[in-house]
Amino acid sequence: MTTEPVSQDEGEPLTDRLTRLMERSHKVWAENLDRRVEDIGLLKPDPLHALPAMQKWMQYSLDHPQQMMQATMELWSAQAELWTQTMQRMVGEDAEPLIEAAPGDKRFKDETWDQNPVYSYIKQSYLLAGRWLRNQLEDAEGLSPQDRKKLELITRNYIEAMSPTNLPATNPAVMKQTIEEKGENLVRGLEHLIRDMERGHGHLLIQQTDLEAFKVGENMAVSEGAVVFQNNVFQLVQFSPKTDQVYERPVVIVAPWINKFYILDLNKKKSMIKWLVEQGHTVFITSWVNPGPEQAGETWESYMKDGVMMAVEKALEETGADKVNIVGYCIGGTITGCTLAHMANKGDDRVGSCTFFTAQLDFSDAGELQAFVDEEVIDTLEDAVEQQGYLAAENMFGAFNALRSSDLIWSFVINNYMMGKENFPFDLLYWNSDSTAMPGQVHVYYLDTFYNRNALSKGELAIDGEVLDMKKVKIPCYHVATVEDHIAPADSAFRAAKMMGGRSQKFILGASGHIAGVVNHPDLGKYHYWTKTGLTGDNLAEWQKDTKRTEGSWWPDWDKWLAKQSKKKVPARKAGAVLGAIEPAPGSYVKVRADKR
């Protein structure tokens, strides 16, 4: 389907524009009707399997009527006090707000929310109700950790969805603009809405940034190099040297396949790849295929052997080195850990060191994504991927956005559809929207084996008939966790470090989150990190005692550690000198957009 551009002809009569927009919307629905019917047939009434948890919560309330009555009376008392204060303000008296939005909450930044008594009442009434609902969940007993995670996510998303900022009539900024533009903003918003429906082939695929402002290989992912190997699951990209001499042992980065590798090469000012090359490292990275039906037969084991182990093999073949320094980021770290344990079982010592970026191996408490996973949810996913062999990109895009719905969903609903504004060009949001599909069997296996059963940590995961034991991995390791990571919590990353068998383990705790805490170029002068000798303590809180805080990026500290693992310097290597160059970096796999299929 071709997507028509948003009309810029504001001189076109309103009736003609609305007629044309209605015709486009009907066309979107008609062209995708069969797919929508098929989707409806695959839907389950409770895809997150949240109903049992909600029933337990409701039952707790029914079993404790006095507690529920008291909480309800407190809510209505607060609402009554708020109404009294609002009446005082209506007649010109001063009144302190009963509740304020949390620091950093951008939804209520318009001054009208504080200056106008009506809007102030709407805001505070909403905040009081949201606080009350969260408190009821917090006080509820008898919920399993998994039930609580699901309910916390659903409750937070419900509260954020009910925000008065999400309705034009109760959003003062939208009302002002609608009056000023005589509704033109809403017409543009409708055009944006239809455009996003067309781009999502009938699904609403919210545009988060200017998609025309960036092009992979031209103004992002521009580090020079070549694709030196490819197969059904990945391309191996080698980057060109920037120094006359390089370390003997190359760096092989196993990128996550949930998103594309160029998060580490967004642009010249942020690129970790460029920085590593400038420090004298020979860098390879996995550029995973954006899977389609051709990858229906791929498995976790094939991604280990045809992916990670093949990348190691080809990097050694290209460089002639004795070992590689491997790096695993997020899910790339999880599969790297499994691969290292498998190699240890086989006596394969081609990896000299490993670095884990925000990676998990022990999934006993694996962050907010765990709310999406249990037996019933996995059954639903299996049904969804059974026919096409892969999980559509919009599923993962929606799941990650749901973890931060206020910032990644509702803010764009307001900006794009109510205000009728165009998106600001932002490279990180372009990368975030450049979603990838998931190979069906690989993804279901990952969720079930790790999030659901925590099989690796329990010693229940076997490859080639041999159980994987991380204690057999005795190579030096450098572990990076970040304090605000909601995908791979710092506690979980620390537990992963404790699982390793080698004595030479270094753990650092960085500021910020899963992306910004990792992609933090030293030249930016942002954030800080904590270090400590050894992995003392049974948990992260104990380790944090007496740590040393260093301002800025942790990259230089890592480079010092990495240099010790990289042996002597040798003459710089041209990318593809041995294996040959299939095509220039960043390669063709990374350029395939799921929303263009």
Rg (C-alpha) for the chain, rounded Å, is: 26
294, 232 in Cβ contact below 8 A? yes
DSSP structure class, residue 555 = H
How many Cβ atoms are within 10 Å of 448's Cβ, its own excluded? 19
- H or E stretch covering 531: strand 528-531
In terms of C-beta density within 10 A (0-12 exposed, 13-18 middle, 19 or more buried), how is residue 577 classed? middle
Cis peptide before 586 (omega within 30 of 0): yes
Residues 393, 289: Cα–Cα separation, whole Å: 13
Contact criterion met (CB below 8 Å) for 510 and 483: yes
Interatomic CA distance for residues 557 and 531, integer angstroms: 10
Q: Are strands 351-357 and 324-329 parallel, antiparallel or unpaired?
A: parallel
Active site residue 338: no
Residue indicated by tokens 């990076």: 480
Encoding tokens for residue 587? 């390669």
The 3-state secondary structure of 336-368, one letter per residue: HHHHHHHHHHHCCCCEEEEEEECCCCCCCCCCH
- Say if CB 315 and CB 324 are below 8 A apart: yes
Give the DSSP H/E element, type plus range, for residue 325. Answer: strand 324-329
Least Cα distance to 263 among 225, 221, 232, 304 occurs for 221
* Backbone φ/ψ region at 415: left (φ over 0), alpha (ψ -120 to 50), beta: alpha
Identify the CA nearest to 427 among candidates 138, 166, 221: 221
Q: Of 330, 338, 354, 477, which residue is the catalytic one?
A: 330
Q: Are 521 and 364 in contact (CB under 8 A)?
A: no
Q: Please give the structure tokens belonging to residue 199.
A: 């781009």
Catalytic residues: 330
